[in-house]
Each structure stands twice: as C-alpha cells, then as structure tokens.
Structure 1
C-alpha cells in the first residue's frame, strides 16, 4: 500500500513541479517583503505578505508561511500544516520533513489528519525518496536534508564533501562538540578549520562568522577585519553591530582605523530590528557611547551614511537557518 501511495505522490509531485508558479511583480514584491520581515524575526508581520505569494502557488513562500505560523504559535497548527502540504506537493523536501514530525505521527496526535490519509510516516518516506533521488544526482542540498530525514551522519559528510556550505558548518560543529568520532584525535582542530573555511568561502553567513572567530584566535587580524566587513555587507545584523562597534572603538577589538561616522551609522541601522533578538537593545546601549565622541555635524554625516548603506546593501537579516526551529 505504501509503495502505491509513494508512486501516486511522486506522479503528483512531478506534475506540480512542472506547473511551478510564476509570480506577478506585485506578488514577487510581497514575497520579498515577507522574507525580509521573516529574516528579521518579525514572523507575525511577515505572514500577510508571504500569504499573497503562497496563495499564488509559490512553493518557497508556502514553506516559509508554514514556518512563520508554526513559529508564531509555538506548535504545528492546522493552518501551518496546510501550507507545508502545499509546498510538499510541489516537491519541497523541507516541508516533507516538517510534516514528518521528526518521525512522530503528527496529525494523528493532533486528530487532524487530512482526508487523503497521508500520515507523518508516509511524508517521511516520501521526503527520503524525493531527496535521495536528487542526492544521487549530486545535489548537495538534498544530501544535507537527507541527514535530517534519516539521522545518518554519513549524509552530512557527503553533503560537506559535495560543497554544501551549511553542511560544512554543521559538520564542523558536530566535530567540535564531540558528536562524531574523529581519528586521529589530534587532527580534529585542523579538520574543523578546513570545514569552516570552506563554509565561509561558500558564503554561508554562520560559517563566515565561525571562521572569523578562528582567524581571531590565530591572531590574523588583517584577515579578520576583511572578513567582518564582508559579512556586514551581506546584511547580517550581528556582523553589522560588531563592525560598527569596532570602527568606533567601542571596543577596539580588531584594530580598525577609528571611523566614528561609519560606526555610528552602522549601529543606528539596528534600531529597526524590533521583532526579536537583542540587536536593537545592543544598539541602544552603544549609540550614546559613540555619540559622546562625536560632533553634531558628524552625527548628521552618520545618518546620511546609514541611509546610503541601506539603499545599496541587502536588508538586515538574522539569517535564520531553514531547519533551525
């Protein structure tokens, strides 16, 4: 029976993928706004924007609308499940993983299984089938998700070797935390550094931050300064806070030349992050200390710098991981 269901699901998925939604400019703008808010921990505000694109059939918006609803309610609601299912029916293996309930029969426990009878276990099997087929073709992201769908560390190793920067980051953390045996033991630190460097070079923001820490520990401040600037330019809120603090020498951690205008301007950007996290509070503590060193003219210059930065760089983001909650 399960094989028959899987065959039916795979046929449905193939048809759905071919018919993937094409968003209008207005729908695309709503999706981008929704994702910006979601990435700033403003999931409640993100919901109506994501819903516009989700209702238009955009798979990614459907998944993240499910995430926002689940996060805002702190559990899997019927509405969240609906949007995960919509994404899963278009081949989204992240959504299949969420619907699998990490191996628990989610809908049975909630007494809200859909009429077509798909259970958490069946979603798990389908997720494995979908992701493994792509992994067999060399898809490193699918390999990464296979780790979550199976719990097999070999998949994380394969994904890292295939060049997935998030897998390289996670695998380095697993080695660091002792979750995976490493032989010879004295090579562990070297392996962790190599993985974090690969993750950083692949553009994964958390990997870049972790590698920055390694550079600091090694005393390579020139490389650390360049990397922190690069991370800040991605819009990463934590990096922008650190970059602004270091430029203004509050504190002078990486020996940047003193630049109060840029430091104040960057720090002031964090004031809009009022949806969660601690960046806004951090900026509110730091800004008076920086301002105490500045003239009124410099503060006005800093405001102009902040405006220009915002217009020419990606939106502020905490870069939450796709399977982070």
Structure 2
C-alpha cells in the first residue's frame, strides 16, 4: 500500500518534507526536469513542528513541546480573560500569577495555562512534572487542550514515565471533544501502524475532522490522501481544494504542491503565472523543492520570463539543501564565466555567506 508523506504537528515521530512532481516539459534543446514524486512514508516518520516566540508561543527549542493553543475564554469569566490577555502579550509572569489564583479557584482553563507555562518555560522555570500535574487536573475537569497536552507529555515521557496507552486514550478523548491537533496526531498514529494498528480509513476520517476545523497540516495531509487514493477514493479536484486551503495558511509543502498542480493543470485550471508566483513564495520560505522547480522555470522561461541568473541562483541555493540537479549543473557549466559569477554571488548573498 502506498502511503503519503505528511507533516507532523507535534513531537511524535520524525519525517522529511514531502516531495512533489513538477511535470514541466522544457524546450527540446534543454534536458527535462527530473520527476520527483511523493514517496511512501516510512513507518516511523514525520516532520517535527516546533513552537513560536511571543506573543503566540510556538517554536520552543528542544526539549520543549509545541505550545498548546488555548482559546480565548468566555466573556463572563473576566479573571481568565486577564490571564489570556497577558499570555497573548507575552507577559508570562503576570499570566502565571493570575492563572495560579484562578486555578486555585478550580478554573480548568487557568490550570491548562499553568501547564503551558511550566511546559514551555514561560515566565517560570521549565518543570514538566508540574506541567503534567496541571494538565492532568485540567483534563480531569474536561478541558480538551489539556488532554492533548497531557497526551504529548505521556507519549514523550516528559514529567513522568512513557505511557503510550494513556497518551492514546487522552488523544482520543481530546479529538472526540473537537480538538483538531489531537485528531491530526491520532490520525498519524493510525497511519504509522506502530503505536496503534494501521488503519488508513480511520486515519483519513480523523484528518478530515482536523482539516474541517481549519488545521493546515491536516488539510495538506488529507490532500495527499486524495491524491494517492489512501483511505479515500482518488480525487484530484478535492486534493487541490485542500492544498489551496493549506496554502492560504502558509503551509509551505502545500504551497509547493498547489503550485505544481496549477502549473500542470492537475485538478484545477492551468495557471502558470500564479504557479510561478507561489513557487517564488515557497522558495523564499526555504523549500528546496520549490527552489529547484523555480530554477527550472526561470532558466527555461516556462510560465515566466527567462532569467538565467536568478534561475541558477535558486539552483545553487537548492543544491546546498540537498536538492542537486545534474542537468542544471550541466547547463550551469555551459554559462559564460561572467554569468556564472553573478549567479554564484546572488546565491551567496541569499545564503548569507557573501
């Protein structure tokens, strides 16, 4: 069975970015671009997504878990509003003090906030054991975000021993209550087939739940399911709609795949100028696949005005990220020395090695 590569939202497994196929037919005088297809995802694979600095925590360095997104509390709980407001502004010490007071009064959202602050070292020294304690109290009170956060700690063994069975139960409870990140990660466990028996149809159902809730990673993953016919019937048009939605949320892998679909007219009307624009965006965001594809279209003038200097700049940049291309290397060697020097200088400037 052919399984697509998808991107993990949380720290469960390890994977590389998905590859994509750009079916561009260059002029007869130039070699054709190599086809790069979505390859089956190895059983233990997924790309780690980490957390972001204030005001919205996301990329916390290892070993911190990704920040749990806590929804704004109801307007009839002004104490919690103050907690969340301080959190959003990056005033973590204030958030900690206010949340402690509310948590003592039994507020589950404040308990989840304390778990978040302890887990990600925000305004307080990192303490996974205390984070786990607060997440558990909030989970017992029915908070779905706390259930997901506790599941991730149980899965990784932070704050206590590894307990994958308990982690799966918490994740399932959180997903049942509508938490999209829990549904997404549970889908990956069903796809992986190690912690849970492999069930691609159940995986697709959970991905659909998370995608419908607007989670870009799930939208991209479900798009690959529809593209490959994994757990669902093949449907190129539906795949493209999902890729478009994820692209609008700045999911880089989805941007690359959506650009390729538009370039080739697969599941959507052909729109090469829009495709090239999206490849430019993904290239600037660091996608080596997009950089390689953008190099081809610029060097060969396909869907855009030919610009060999800019095209070979992106080829050289992609090459440093492991996306070398022998055909483009040959074309590069045939350039006049002055043009090669310009492309190399542009690549060095982009890479910050000038």
Taking structure 2 as the reference length, what is the TM-score of the superposition? 0.49
Q: Which residue of 2 aligns with 1:17?
A: 116
Verify the 8 A CA contact 2:154 2:163 in the aligned structure 1: no
Q: Are 1:91 and 2:149 counterparts?
A: yes
Call closer, same or farther: CA 1:22–1:224 in 2, change over 3 Å: same
Aligned residues: 212
Taking structure 1 as the reference length, what is the TM-score of the superposition? 0.53
In the alignment, which of 141, 146, 154 is matched to residue 186 of structure 2? Answer: 146
* Distance in 1, Cα, partners of 2:295 & 2:338: 18
Verify the 8 A CA contact 2:148 2:170 in the aligned structure 1: no
Backbone CA RMSD of aligned residues: 3.9
* Distance in 2, Cα, partners of 1:270 & 1:58: 40
Q: Are 1:287 and 2:335 counterparts?
A: no
Mapping for residues 1-325 of structure 1, pairs under 5 Å: 16-22=115-121, 57=126, 91=149, 93-94=151-152, 96-97=154-155, 119-129=163-173, 131-132=174-175, 136=178, 139-148=179-188, 151-181=202-232, 188-218=235-265, 219-249=270-300, 252=301, 254-273=302-321, 278-279=322-323, 281-282=324-325, 285-294=327-336, 296-311=337-352
Verify the 8 A CA contact 2:279 2:294 in the aligned structure 1: yes
Verify the 8 A CA contact 2:154 2:162 in the aligned structure 1: no
Q: Which runs of 5+ in 2 are unaligned?
A: 1-109, 129-145, 191-201
Q: Which residue of 2 aligns with 1:85?
A: none
Q: Deviations over 1:279-321 (max 9, x none)?
A: 1x42x55234123133x22222222222332349xxxxxxxxx
Verify the 8 A CA contact 2:227 2:239 in the aligned structure 1: yes
Call closer, same or farther: CA 1:117–1:270 in 2, change over 3 Å: closer
Verify the 8 A CA contact 2:204 2:232 in the aligned structure 1: no
Verify the 8 A CA contact 2:184 2:218 in the aligned structure 1: yes
* Distance in 2, Cα, partners of 1:264 & 1:159: 39
Call closer, same or farther: CA 1:238–1:58 in 2, change over 3 Å: farther
Q: Deviations over 1:170-219 (max 9, x none)?
A: 2122233333446xx9xx44322211211222221221222122212323
Call closer, same or farther: CA 1:305–1:23 in 2, change over 3 Å: farther
Secondary structure of 1:19's match? helix
Verify the 8 A CA contact 1:197 1:211 in the aligned structure 2: yes
* Distance in 2, Cα, partners of 1:202 & 1:210: 14
Call closer, same or farther: CA 1:57–1:285 in 2, change over 3 Å: farther
